[in-house]
């Protein structure tokens, strides 16, 4: 088994030189594992469809399950979905950053958006722009709330991993579908 040598703690990752390197990895199509406020995520910039496809392969995730997009602020949603209703904007302002994912209509399709409430994740997203991020687990296995719970095979296939010193909440986000104008709970977190 290959040695996993691409891991930084959050404290190390926030140091300018390391942070700049992580941003460059994402902006050049790399894949990273990092903590969110709920569980560890595996993600890539939405600008690199081949990298997003690789996430599906790494996780063994069914292609029919879209990968949510993380953004740094509710304001960033307009770049992805265009205008939103006042009701949706109110939900965004009330629950973001936090463990709520909203499914919204976006140019003839739907998209799941979330703003995580984690210092490192927010800083990263502010620099990289939207990222396709899903839990850093093999599909069907429990989502990892502790770094040690991440499958070693996943860590060997990513370009960088950031480890939080504390255990995360361990409960995936609540998913709300607001595409119909009503609020429908898809998954309780």
Q: How many domains does the chain have?
A: 1
CATH of the domain at 156: 3.90.870.10
Answer yes or no: is 1 within a domain.
Answer: no
Answer yes or no: is 19 within a domain.
Answer: yes
Confidence bin at 4 (pLDDT 50/70/90): low
Answer yes or no: is 139 within a domain.
Answer: yes
Answer yes or no: is 96 within a domain.
Answer: yes
Determine contact, residues 38/44, Cβ cutoff 8 Å. no
Determine contact, residues 186/175, Cβ cutoff 8 Å. yes
Question: In sequence order, what are the residues at sequence separation of 6 or more whose Cβ sits closer than 8 angstroms to the Cβ of residue 182?
Answer: none
Of the candidates 154, 145, 128, which has an alpha carbon nearest to the alpha carbon of residue 42? 154
Phi, psi of 99, deg, nearest 5: -85, 45
DSSP class of 95: H
Query: Is it the case that residue 134 has pLDDT exceeding 80?
Result: yes
What confidence score (pLDDT) does residue 1 get? 41
Answer yes or no: is 45 within a domain.
Answer: yes
Pairing of the two strands 184-187 and 69-70: unpaired
Query: Is it the case that residue 108 has pLDDT exceeding 80?
Result: no
Burial of 135 (0-12, 13-18, 19+ CB in 10 A): buried
More confident residue, 4 or 71: 71
Burial of 104 (0-12, 13-18, 19+ CB in 10 A): buried
Mean pLDDT over 140-166 rounds to 94
Measured between alpha carbons, how far is 121 from 22 in angstroms, rounded to an integer? 11
Measured between alpha carbons, how far is 100 from 123 in angstroms, rounded to an integer? 19
Mean pLDDT over 90-107 rounds to 93
Per-residue pLDDT tens over the stretch 37-62: 999 999 999 999 999 999 999 999 99
Answer yes or no: is 141 within a domain.
Answer: yes
Q: What's the domain range around 93?
A: 7-187
Query: Is it the case that residue 2 has pLDDT exceeding 60?
Result: no
Burial of 82 (0-12, 13-18, 19+ CB in 10 A): exposed
Q: Show the tokens assigned to 158.
A: 């990513």
Answer yes or no: is 33 within a domain.
Answer: yes
CA 131 to centroid of chain Cα atoms: 6
- As a whole number, the mean pLDDT across the chain is 93
Burial of 116 (0-12, 13-18, 19+ CB in 10 A): buried
Answer yes or no: is 2 within a domain.
Answer: no
């Amino acid at each position: 088994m290959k040695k996993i040598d691409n891991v930084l703690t959050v404290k190390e990752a926030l140091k300018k030189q390391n942070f700049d390197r992580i941003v460059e990895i994402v902006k050049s199509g790399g894949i990273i594992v990092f903590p969110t406020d709920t569980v560890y995520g595996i993600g890539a910039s939405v600008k690199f469809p081949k990298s997003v496809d690789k996430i599906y392969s790494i996780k063994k995730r069914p292609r029919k399950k879209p990968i949510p997009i993380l953004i740094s602020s509710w304001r960033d949603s307009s770049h992805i979905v265009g205008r939103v209703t006042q009701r949706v904007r109110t939900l965004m302002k009330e629950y973001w950053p936090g463990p709520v994912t909203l499914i919204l209509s976006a140019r003839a399709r739907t998209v799941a958006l979330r703003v995580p409430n984690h210092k490192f994740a927010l800083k990263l997203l502010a620099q990289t722009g939207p990222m396709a991020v899903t839990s850093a687990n093999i599909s069907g296995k429990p989502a990892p709330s502790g770094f040690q719970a991440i499958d070693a095979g996943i860590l060997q296939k990513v370009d960088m991993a950031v480890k939080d010193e504390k255990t995360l909440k361990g409960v995936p986000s609540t998913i709300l579908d607001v595409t119909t104008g009503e609020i429908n709970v898809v998954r309780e977190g």
